[in-house]
Amino acid sequence: MAEFDFAGWVARARGFAIAIGRLPGGVARSTSVTTPIAESAMQAIEGALGVSIGTSLRALFTRGAAALDCAYSWAPEGRALDELRALLPDQTRIYGGAKLGPVSELERLCHIGPEHWLIAPFTDDDGYLDAESERAARLRELLGR
């Protein structure tokens, strides 16, 4: 299997946000990407945290970008809106993006919640969040959603 191209993924995420911004009704809210962090700097952050960063996240920060914020929105009109509503009947706009980092804030971020015990009741048997679980439905009802 070929090694994942983190720099390529970052470039595609940024390029996609830019391309959406060029569409009528499109906005590239941000297209910020910083250069990857040096391996020695990543080791210093791990030392401060007292834990190792996972392989994939480490590779993203050291081979892709130390931070990225590529966000977009698209609110089409006319025929483009009709086509969007044919695909997604309840939507008049779409939005999204990729935001991660900066890596220098990992130490600060590891100290904020939610705590694992708050999330655990909403996970499936494989440990993934399950938005369709009975507990999630009860929480949405409780919150009035």
Residues 7/64, Cβ–Cβ less than 8 Å: yes
For residue 113, the model assigns a pLDDT of: 46
Dihedral sign (CA 52, 56, 58, 59) = positive
For residue 120, the model assigns a pLDDT of: 74
Token reading at 71 = 């966000």
> Predicted confidence band at 107 (pLDDT cuts at 50, 70, 90)?
low
Dihedral sign (CA 38, 99, 111, 58) = negative
Residues 67/34, Cβ–Cβ less than 8 Å: yes
Per the document, the length of the chain is: 145
For residue 31, the cross-strand partners are: 70
What integer is the mean pLDDT of 67-92?
Answer: 90
Least trusted range by pLDDT, from 96-100, 103-107, 112-116: 112-116
On the question of pLDDT at 15 being above 90, the answer is yes
- Kindly state the DSSP code that residue 123 receives in the 8-state scheme: B
Q: Which residue has the tokens 């990225």?
A: 68
Choose between 141 and 2: higher pLDDT: 2
- Sheet with 26-34, strands from edge to edge, namely 26-34, 67-74, 94-100
For residue 94, the model assigns a pLDDT of: 86
Give φ, ψ of 113 to 5 degrees.
-70, -170
